[in-house]
Amino acid sequence: MMSASRLQRAVRPAARAFSQSTNPRRILVTGGTGQIGMELVPFMRQLFGGDSIVNSDIKASAGARDGHFVYCDVQDRDNMARIVVEQGVDTIVHMASLLSAVGEANPSLALAVNTRGVQNVLELAKQHQLRVFAPSTIAVFGPSTPQDETPDTTIMRPTTMYGLTKVHVELLGEYYYNKFGVDFRSVRYPGIISSEALPGGGTTDYAVEIFYEALKHGKYTCFLQPDAKLPMMYMPDCLKATMGLINAPNECLSQRTYNITAVSFTPEEMVASIQKVLPGFQCDYKPDFRQQIAETWPRSLDDSIARRDWNWQHDFDLDRMVEDMLVKLDAKLAKPELVVEETA
């Protein structure tokens, strides 16, 4: 008798693997001026060529105008369909989303953007045989989830609108994969630390703010408690992981959504690492509503399945990341015109 999983694979329409197409890529990136998108787009243009990437968002930053950019509201399916057809898109990298703290301030908007957007993307993928990468987040987990070495498959009962909508992304994407053969892939991003984008409304944004304040003022007031441990990742590793899953052969994948992580640390551990370079740096703590959000998230992730299936490996530990961030931001702050506006 055939097992349920084998039967499902037997009847599921064949997914178009990201890596199997012999034609030139044409990739639409939604939310391309956001915190991750603003670095992912140029990274992908280096890999695939500038003409292969169509950047899109509801507003264009100065950097976005350096290449092909189109206006795209992900809530407007007709406009997205026009872009897909006119631009010859075969892949959508769906980065458009409202983050955790912003989503709590405006839950109705977060619900609309984060759920309607991915629904439109997946429906277009079904109609036009598109590939889809749409990231998830550690915010899908909640207080009933095991907080240490959280596995890929476990209880997901989030307490934020952002987390609720990302559970929707994961499950809807898997449904379209099983039902219609859409090649949907996702990773659960931990906190992402970037030297390029300013904080944009995330609960882990202290880990970016702290560097600016350390260099400008020598002190920082953290909105999380000193022992609030969370999984984190430096942007170069984030880009590496994103492209690693996008380019992985479909036959190597045992699931559609993967945990990924690099290092877990607390604010006080980050302060200690910064003090190795800037001994006079001081930090105090005034937790706000984001502390309550952080308490519902994992302290660390088990990403062993990603490491097994598509050879994910991170490059940056805490100290190496801190050293690199301080060097890059020191040079950036010396040239104020390089400090970009908040985009999320």
Catalytic residues, which ones? 162
- Cα gap 192→323, rounded to integer Å: 16
Q: Do residues 95 and 37 make contact, with C-beta atoms less than 8 angstroms apart?
A: yes
Other C-beta atoms within 10 Å of 65: how many? 11
Question: With contact defined as beta carbons under 8 Å apart, do 69 and 56 qualify?
Answer: yes
Q: What angle do CA 109, 113, 119 make, to 5 degrees?
A: 145
* 293 in Cβ contact with 104 (< 8 Å): yes
CA dihedral 134, 135, 139, 141 (to 10 degrees): 80
Please tell me the distance from the alpha carbon of residue 27 to that of residue 184, in angstroms, as a whole number.
14
Closest to 303 measured CA to CA, from 261, 263, 265, 264: 261
Which amino acid is residue 39, in one-letter code?
E
263 contact partners, CB below 8 Å, separation of at least 6: 231, 232, 233, 314, 316, 317, 318, 321
Distance CA 328, CA 222 (A): 22
User: What DSSP letter does each residue of 164-228 carry, written as one string?
Assistant: HHHHHHHHHHHHHHHHH---EEEEEE-EEE-SSSPP-S-TTTHHHHHHHHHHHTSEEEESS-TT-
